[in-house]
Amino acid sequence: MRLKKERNAIILAHNYQLPEIQDIADVTGDSLELARLASQNDADVIVFCGVDFMAETAAIVNPDKTVLLPAKDAGCPLAEMADAQSLVAKKKEYPDAAVVCYVNSSAEVKAESDICCTSANAVDVVNSLKEDRVLFVPDQNLASWVARHTEKEIIPWNGYCITHHRVRAEEVHRAKEAHPDAVVVVHPECPAEVVDLADEVASTTGILRYVKNSSAQKFIIGTEMGLLHRLMKENPGKVFFILSPGLVCPNMKKISSIQMVLDALESNAPQVRVDEEIRLKALAAVERMLAI
């Protein structure tokens, strides 16, 4: 792409983006992989095809680069369920607790947290802490998954991903009946009743790894539909069924055409910027995660 070269830009796409966006990206991955990659790259411009907290995370670790989010209004309802002011108040209720925030949170919430985590490393992050109590923000389902894998007391925030949270146990039963020889793999943002019925629970990166290494041929996938594109591409011959037709994140689909990516590059907008004081505090939480 001529424009990409002229701008010395790199296009990053989240695993939940539309197939055509994933196909034009330099790299497709989860938010942490993409943020890390952006900082290890000599591009001047990062076109982040994802939702706002992901582009913000890229901006937190890359202060000298221009970060573009082709759909300005691609937000994350889960991230919006926690704000810094409420977190500060909650911290006063639990002064002895460490604050762990899921990457699906605003820069302001990250800035008020001790350490950040992703769904791929949440258990390791929590277990690395010296505190016995952990305030886990903002996803209650990921918190409940972590609580199963730690001795620590987990105090969950009451947020949830609107896409994963609506999946029901009944849908797992139906999918298993329809495909009895398929393995059920779900994301930990799904409710506990769904997690209880799964053969494997993992982040998007974990699901990709699990499927690749599995000798099974059929999989029922319980995460946002966009991941099916990579699963099918990277595992020819294996068959995938989506657990629920509701597993579509409307915000991830707001970058609805390649033209939107081109427009962002052409106009150098919309740019994502983080206030420097907040950025430095949020960076500390992200860097603590990266250190373990």
Within 13-32, the residues that bind ligand CIZ by CB under 6 A are 14-15, 30-32
Within 35-54, the residues that bind ligand CIZ by CB under 6 A are none
Does residue 119 interact with ligand CIZ by CB under 6 A?
Answer: yes
Q: Which residue has the tokens 């500060």?
A: 88
Kindly list the distances between the CA atom of residue 75 and the CA atoms of 12, 108, 193, 249, 286, in Å, as whole numbers in the listed order: 17, 15, 27, 10, 20
Least CB distance from residue 227 to ligand CIZ, whole Å?
A: 8
**Is the CB of 66 or the CB of 251 nearer to ligand CIZ?**
251
Least CB distance from residue 77 to ligand CIZ, whole Å?
A: 12
Contact region for ligand CIZ (CB under 6 A) — 128-136, 203-211, 248-256, 266-274?
A: 203-211
Does residue 139 interact with ligand CIZ by CB under 6 A?
Answer: no
**Is the CB of 44 or the CB of 73 nearer to ligand CIZ?**
73
- Alpha carbon of residue 40 to chain centroid: 20
Least CB distance from residue 59 to ligand CIZ, whole Å?
A: 16
Helix 52-61 with 276-291: angle, nearest 10 deg: 90
**Is the CB of 22 or the CB of 31 nearer to ligand CIZ?**
31
Does residue 105 interact with ligand CIZ by CB under 6 A?
Answer: no
**Is the CB of 4 or the CB of 48 nearer to ligand CIZ?**
48
Q: Which residue has the tokens 């573009």?
A: 68
**Is the CB of 7 or the CB of 164 nearer to ligand CIZ?**
164
Does residue 57 interact with ligand CIZ by CB under 6 A?
Answer: no
Least CB distance from residue 93 to ligand CIZ, whole Å?
A: 27
| Residue 47 to residue 237: CA distance in whole angstroms | 32
Answer whether the bond into residue 138 is a cis peptide, omega within 30°.
yes
Q: Dump the DSSP string for 231-285.
A: HHHHSTT-EEEES-TT---TTGGGS--HHHHHHHHHHT-SB----HHHHHHHHHH
| Residue 199 to residue 31: CA distance in whole angstroms | 25
Does residue 203 interact with ligand CIZ by CB under 6 A?
Answer: yes
Residue burial 171-201, b: 16+ Cβ < 10 Å; e: rest: bbeebbeeeeebbbbbbbbbbeebbebbebb
Least CB distance from residue 188 to ligand CIZ, whole Å?
A: 8
- With CB under 6 A as the contact rule, the residue among 105, 141, 204, 251 that binds ligand CIZ is 204
Within 232-251, the residues that bind ligand CIZ by CB under 6 A are none
Q: In one letter, which amino acid is 167?
A: V
Does residue 118 interact with ligand CIZ by CB under 6 A?
Answer: yes
Q: Is 119 exposed, middle or buried (0-12, 13-18, 19+ CB in 10 A)?
A: buried
Give, as one character, the DSSP assignment of residue 195: H
**Is the CB of 104 or the CB of 244 nearer to ligand CIZ?**
104
Least CB distance from residue 51 to ligand CIZ, whole Å?
A: 8
Least CB distance from residue 249 to ligand CIZ, whole Å?
A: 9
Q: Which residues bind to ligand CIZ, rule: CB under 6 A? A: 14-15, 30-32, 103-104, 118-119, 187, 203-205
